[in-house]
Amino acid sequence: MFRLSTVIFTGAILAACAGDAPQDRAEEPAAASGTSEGPVSLLQLSDTQQRGRRLFETICWTCHGSAGRGDGPVALAGAVSAPPNFLTGDYPSLSAADLEWRFRGVLAGADDTHPHMRYITSILESASFLEALAYIPALTYPSEIPGSAIAGSVTYQFRCQPCHGETGRGDGSIADLLEVRPADFTQDTLIARRDWEAIFQRIREGGQSTHSSMPPWGIFFSEDEMWDLVAFISSLRPGVFPSLAEVTSR
């Protein structure tokens, strides 16, 4: 078991190292114009959270999953014990410091059935590991929705943005071509009412009842992916949640 994860991680790390330098250079000019990261930039991650995100998406996601549900490919393949679902229980309210404390606790008791815990801390500088931990509270934002706005922003960029627009105003590149205008999430009344279930249903069923071009996403996405979308589009309406920066600096 340990060997399997060692091979996977060595591969992942080599790939990350090989890609690192040129990526850094390419990113700078784009970051200055504010568009390098697509819709996730609207959530305004701190520099630490952004660095943590890159590490999380290189290594941690293999077990923890991109949205932190504990459903990464290594975990699904049964190579390790099931990681926790960071979007449930008290996890969404934990700070980076709380997470570190808990992680160290698990590590102290690590036995042969949990070799990955020691392995992770042995292959990473502790500063980088702490950045990856600091990303987890951002990943669970907003805590009152069982989805991750950051994970939803990735799907949003390719599946929703062409109609709903980069900032959710209903002004995407093909919006003018449609008979019914795409919803403007910054003014959305369902979001203002915090009716998460209704928003979820609208995404699942699309424009069947409203006779619009909105696709019935339930055919294509899992429930988890749709909750991630609910989380992201709800964060686009100002004033519904405290900002990510406010929540994660507590």
Q: Which residues bind ligand HEC (CB under 6 A)?
A: 5, 55, 59-60, 62-64, 74, 80-81, 83-84, 99, 102-103, 106, 114, 116-117, 120, 124, 129, 132-133, 159-160, 162-164, 178, 180, 182-183, 188, 190, 199, 202-203, 207, 210, 212-215, 217, 229, 233
CA–CA distance, 64 with 76 (Å, rounded to integer):
10
Q: Please, what is the minimum distance in Å from the beta carbon of residue 46 to ligand HEC? A: 16
Q: Is 206 exposed, middle or buried (0-12, 13-18, 19+ CB in 10 A)?
A: middle
Tokens for 181?
A: 């205008």
Q: Please, what is the minimum distance in Å from the beta carbon of residue 163 to ligand HEC? A: 3
Q: Which residue's structure tokens are 């980076």?
A: 96
Q: CA distances (Å), 176 to each of 39, 52, 182, in order?
A: 21, 38, 9
Q: Which is nearer to ligand HEC, 80 or 247 (CB)?
A: 80
Q: Which is nearer to ligand HEC, 36 or 84 (CB)?
A: 84
Tokens for 42?
A: 């609207």
CA–CA distance, 192 with 188 (Å, rounded to integer):
6
Q: Which is nearer to ligand HEC, 43 or 133 (CB)?
A: 133
Q: Please, what is the minimum distance in Å from the beta carbon of residue 40 to ligand HEC? A: 15
- Taking Cα atoms as reference points, which of 189, 185, 158, 152 lies closest to residue 171? 185
Q: Please, what is the minimum distance in Å from the beta carbon of residue 57 to ligand HEC? A: 10
Which residues make Cβ contacts (< 8 Å) with residue 32, sequence separation at least 6?
none
Q: Which is nearer to ligand HEC, 181 or 242 (CB)?
A: 181
Q: Please, what is the minimum distance in Å from the beta carbon of residue 66 to ligand HEC? A: 12
Q: Please, what is the minimum distance in Å from the beta carbon of residue 96 to ligand HEC? A: 9
Q: Which is nearer to ligand HEC, 94 or 244 (CB)?
A: 94
Q: Which is nearer to ligand HEC, 83 or 142 (CB)?
A: 83
Q: Please, what is the minimum distance in Å from the beta carbon of residue 29 to ligand HEC? A: 29
Q: Give the long-range contacts of residues 47-50, CB within 8 A, separation 24 or more.
A: 48/131, 48/134, 49/131, 49/134, 49/135, 49/138, 49/248
Q: Are 194 and 203 in contact (CB under 8 A)?
A: no
Q: Which is nearer to ligand HEC, 102 or 194 (CB)?
A: 102
Start-to-end CA distance of the chain, whole Å, equals 38
